[in-house]
Amino acid sequence: MRRLSLLLTTSICALICTIAQAAEQNSAVTRFIFTDKNGKVESAQVISSFTGKSSYPFANTHSKLLSHLDPKLLRAATIADERAHAHSRSCCWRYVKEALLASGAVSSYPKTEYARQAGDELVSSFGFTRLAVRDPYQAPVGSVLVYGSGRSAGHVEIRTPTGFVSDFRATAPSRRPLIGIYAKMSSATRGF
């Protein structure tokens, strides 16, 4: 009889502890636990609902630089990132053209064939300007980076918050010689 009452008391205590832990877990913020590429255990808050306050996923990234850029370039970066593959398909300029067109950053499909010609066409036909920035890592999010030398076709990519994207995603810029970094200024800052 004594063993039965001890077992019953232990069971009731365990049940009360389980209920208390479940209640505490429901009131606490749920977190997603994962291991990063270096093997370090990290966690992130699980978002259960979207408030809709930000129309662009990069709204807080480089806010000083982004305030002067056409917001359609941020949309082009998002579109290019959504459509990109893990590896190159040797169609960088085509993918960037399609992203710029789909976002409304350009009014018609660019006509140049080679990626190295992209900068000249964006400036002459679509109102882009060549930025003074020479370091691809310092390029504002949404800007178009054009690479090439000699008679090669070149390469073109769009800067994203996490790296660079064209027909594929990359965390590092192209190793080709940089021709220039191009962006379209918003209509409010064009008068400067």
The CATH number of residue 95's host domain is: 3.90.1720.10
* Confidence check: pLDDT of 175 > 90: yes
19 is a domain residue: yes
Does 177 lie in the same domain as 139? yes
58 is a domain residue: no
Does 140 lie in the same domain as 175? yes
Does 31 lie in the same domain as 68? no
Residue type, 11: S
Does 155 lie in the same domain as 75? yes
Does 25 lie in the same domain as 86? no
Does 165 lie in the same domain as 74? yes
Report the interhelical angle of 71-83 vs 92-103 (nearest 10°): 130
Domain count, the chain: 2
Does 110 lie in the same domain as 17? no
Q: Tens digits of per-residue pLDDT, 31-88?
A: 778 888 888 888 877 766 655 544 444 444 444 555 677 889 999 999 999 999 999 9
Domain that holds residue 108: 63-183
Does 74 lie in the same domain as 155? yes
Please state the pTM of the whole predicted model: 0.65
Distance separating alpha carbons of residues 100 and 78, to the nearest angstrom: 10
Does 68 lie in the same domain as 40? no
145 is a domain residue: yes
Distance separating alpha carbons of residues 72 and 127, to the nearest angstrom: 13
Report the b/e string of 124-141 with b at 16+ CB within 10 A: eeeebeebebeebeebbb
Q: Tens digits of per-residue pLDDT, 94-140?
A: 999 999 999 999 999 999 999 999 999 999 999 999 999 899 999 99
